[in-house]
Amino acid sequence: MPPEFATAGIGFAALLLLIALRAPVGLAMLLVGAGGYLWIVDAGVLLNYLKTTPYHLFANYTLSVIPLFILMGALAERGGLARDLFDAANALFGRRPGGMAMGVIGASACFGAVCGSSVATTATIGRAALPELKRFGYDPGLATGTVAVGGTLGILIPPSVILVVYAISTEQNIAKLFMAALVPGLLATLFYVLTIAVLTRLRPALAPPGGGVDATERRRVLLNVIPVLLIAVVVIGGIYGGVFTPTESAAIGCVSTLTVGLARRTLNGADVRAALFATAETTAMIFVILLGAEVFNAFLALSQAPDLLALWISEQDFPPYGVLALLLFAYIVLGAVMDELAMILLTLPVFFPVVTALDFGLASAEETAIWFGVLVLVVVGIGLTAPPIGLNVFVVSSLARDVPIARTYRGVLPFLATDLLRLALLVTFPALSLWLVRALT
């Protein structure tokens, strides 16, 4: 084994050990990266690196989009927008078998367009939907499973914090990644709705028809969702149309969400303070992970293992799609036991050079990077609901304590099957991700 691979392998093993011992992921990457840096060079070089790197990393203007999108989601959560979305979706679809579960998927997709966080979408929609699903006699496994997979739309439907981190880590265009993610996100929404339709047709007892609403109530709840839909159109449409940069669009979304909440009196001073504190906590956690990943990636770069691995694979006769399948399988396995942000930042320094070194027949290396970013996003979503961890499943379990977690896992299995089908389609037909980018740029 080349010494570069041995050094990098020891570093990865030490990092996984610290994570298994429940050390904070950002701190673990920082410690292992600094230790590896010391091993390869010396303390003076490391201190010089640490003297400038944190400032240049956090002074990056592009990073400001992360707290802004998080704040927009926090304000939307506390402003009752999720409840309005679920009520509107229920008014439209609740009369048919499985209609309320379909409403959960629709509300999650719309809320994801103003949130960008999977966990926040799961928790917010779950609090609004689970009591209603229980009241109308929905099977507990289907109810909790639907909320869990619906929460993944929080990162699949742009804007997505995960995509922002991917863009910054790989130096890609955030707006183009948002464009590329839209069709796969809508495809996920469609597949989830079709899954519910098939399940309820085969087993009607899983999801009896919900309570209908009269025309006056339906008109009222539909009018209530106009503000959140307008915010989503302005935020996403502004980016796609080139009117706003992603950072400007996030700022406009924050102001719009705050204005709507204050005007409707669903937000007060305490809610705004709570949203600001939640944003600060989440942003600090992400930034610590980013710093740890930066130092760990610098250690890997010094070891030259990622570049040597990419060069070795490119010189072999491995089929590009075979290599890609192995990398995506590794992501699914890691996503089932690791935090999605840490998983991406941990693996990108190794996986990204490998992918960009292969020939998939696309027009440019940028298209390959954008396409791979969407595939990573999809497998991250799978990891959020797949056993044995599945962070979204744990979130739902905390909201529905009377439902055994094993039953929730059984509830998500049909959706996971459609996730794998969607992943296969996106791998086989890259144009599903790239056509909107090609059309708008």
Residue 87 located in a structural domain:
yes
Burial (CB count within 10 angstroms: exposed 0-12, middle 13-18, buried 19+), residue 375:
buried
Residues 115-150 have pLDDT tens digits of: 777 877 888 888 878 887 888 888 899 999 999 999
Q: Are 157 and 182 in contact (CB under 8 A)?
A: yes
The token duo for 201 is 């047709």
User: What's the domain count of the chain?
Assistant: 1
Closest listed residue to residue 70, CA positions, set 286, 281, 279: 279
Residue 109 located in a structural domain:
yes
The Cα–Cα gap between 437 and 441 comes to 6
Interacting residues of 82 by C-beta distance below 8 A, sequence separation 6+: 76, 107, 111, 124, 125, 127, 128
Q: How many residues are there in the chain? A: 441
Is the pTM higher than 0.85? The answer reads no
Helix (H, G, I), strand (E, B) or coil at 286: helix
Residues 251-291 have pLDDT tens digits of: 998 898 899 888 888 888 888 999 899 889 888 888 888 88
Residue 436 located in a structural domain:
yes
Closest listed residue to residue 213, CA positions, set 92, 360, 346: 92
The Cα–Cα gap between 353 and 102 comes to 40
Mean pLDDT for the chain overall: 83
Task: Print burial letters for 83-113: b (CB count within 10 Å at least 16), e (below 16).
Answer: bbbbbbbbbbbbeebbbbbbbbbbbbbbbbb
Residue 343 located in a structural domain:
yes
Helix (H, G, I), strand (E, B) or coil at 67: helix
Residue 148 located in a structural domain:
yes
Structural domain including 212 reads 60-267+304-440
Residue 93 located in a structural domain:
yes
Residue 353 located in a structural domain:
yes
Residues 359-392 have pLDDT tens digits of: 888 878 889 999 999 999 998 888 888 877 777 8
Residue 282 located in a structural domain:
no
Closest listed residue to residue 149, CA positions, set 398, 401, 404, 418: 418
Question: Residue 177: which pLDDT band, with cuts at 50, 70 and 90?
Answer: very high
Query: Residue 4: is its pLDDT beyond 70?
Result: no
